[in-house]
Amino acid sequence: MARWQPNASERLALAALELFAERGYENTTVIDIAQRAGLTKSTFFRHFQDKREVLFGHDTMNRLLVEAIAAAPATATPLEAVAHALDAVGREAFTPARREFSTRRRAVIAASPELREREALKGLALTASMTDALKRRGVPDVASCVAAELGALAMKIAYERWSDTANGDDFGELARRALGEVQAASTLC
């Protein structure tokens, strides 16, 4: 495959996911990924900082969450602003076309302690981004933290449900449902 062909980033991500599933994350090199994609190592590094970033992406998710919380109606409660953000994530990041990739990604991450740790750190960063975005809306500190934590938990639950190929619901619906479940459960504690 010629190097100039479009979608290099997507080709690299798919090649990496295939190799991680076949050989394991630890036994796959950047050169292996580039070769599988029909690209060079330097092309890989133009798109990704390292092989972990193939699975965790750039700051797209943070940006989506922060922008959507900022764009939520001024009258929105903190949880409504978070729900607005989860809707945006569903429309932009967790599309039906990404479901199979996400399902395979989840399996690769589950098989590697290093990747599970990286996934947890990414979750903490997303929660911090939502907290900061809520504070910028004028939400008090504790309420910002609680809404962001509930939103992060709802997003995690929705992602697990959505990435199950047996589930046909879209991410936005699952996230709203999970947010309602999390909110209801918090009143029982």
Express each pLDDT in 84-122 by its tens digit. 999 999 999 898 888 888 889 999 999 999 999 999 999
In the block, which residue shows the tokens 């939400």?
Answer: 139
CA distance 171 to 61: 14
Q: What is the pLDDT of residue 4?
A: 54
pTM of the model: 0.86
Domains and CATH numbers, the chain: 8-54 (1.10.10.60), 59-188 (1.10.357.10)
Nearest Cα to Cα of residue 164 among 109, 102, 118: 102
- Residue-averaged pLDDT of the chain: 92
